[in-house]
Amino acid sequence: MDIEAFNALPLAEADALLRACADIDPWVASVVGGRPYPDSGAVIAAAELLAADWSPVDVDQALSHHPRIGERPTGSEAGAGASSREQAGVDPADTALAEALREGNVAYEEKFGRIYLVRAKGRTGPQLLALLRERLQNDPEEEYDVMVGQLQDIAVLRVKDLFA
């Protein structure tokens, strides 16, 4: 998409595009409300800057729509297609990896009370599993910061992809 097209989108369409990047109401409203942007770099910079202000409530809202690593999204929520593409490195035929990810997801959720979120784009299934195992060693505060950073990375990468 070019910047002129993005700037000219009706509010609902612009909202839907950004919501697929991160389903966080104030972030979407602020990025969309910042239009018109002079270029795509300005949209990306605004998205990144505004993501730095996410509250725990914002993060919980975004996480409620993310599939677990190793699971394909089944719904039609805004980011389902992006999540499927980003997890393309997880081979669904690798049953040993699928089971290890499932066990890791359960352990993560038991320890931290939320899904394991990681930037999956460009990573293989074994890399995602190794990161999961590594992050299980974090204390809750450290892990929260890591997870929020990953969520911010995912959102900004998705915004960049809109203009690629």
What's the token pair of residue 19? 């919501």
Gap between the Cα atoms of 18 and 39, Å rounded: 16
Residue found under tokens 């929020």:
148
Chain centre distance of CA 8: 25
User: pLDDT at position 76, please?
Assistant: 47
CA distances from 112 to 101, 123, 159 (A): 16, 23, 28
Scanning the structure block, which residue is given the tokens 């966080």? 24
For the whole model, what pTM was predicted? 0.85
Are residues 16 and 31 in contact, defined by beta-carbon separation less than 8 angstroms? no
Which residue do the tokens 């509010």 mark?
Answer: 11
What's the length of the chain? 164
| Cα–Cα distances in angstroms (integers) from residue 5 to residues 21, 50, 51, in the given order | 18, 22, 23
Q: What are phi and psi of 10, to 5 degrees?
A: -60, 150
For each of the chain's 164 residues, which pLDDT tens digit applies? 999 999 999 999 999 999 999 999 999 999 999 999 999 999 999 999 999 999 999 999 999 877 888 776 544 455 555 555 655 557 777 889 989 999 999 999 999 999 999 999 889 999 999 999 999 999 999 999 999 999 999 999 999 999 99
Amino acid at 111: K
pLDDT, position 67: 81
Residue with tokens 């959102």: 155
For the chain, domains (ranges, CATH) are 3-162 (1.10.3330.10)
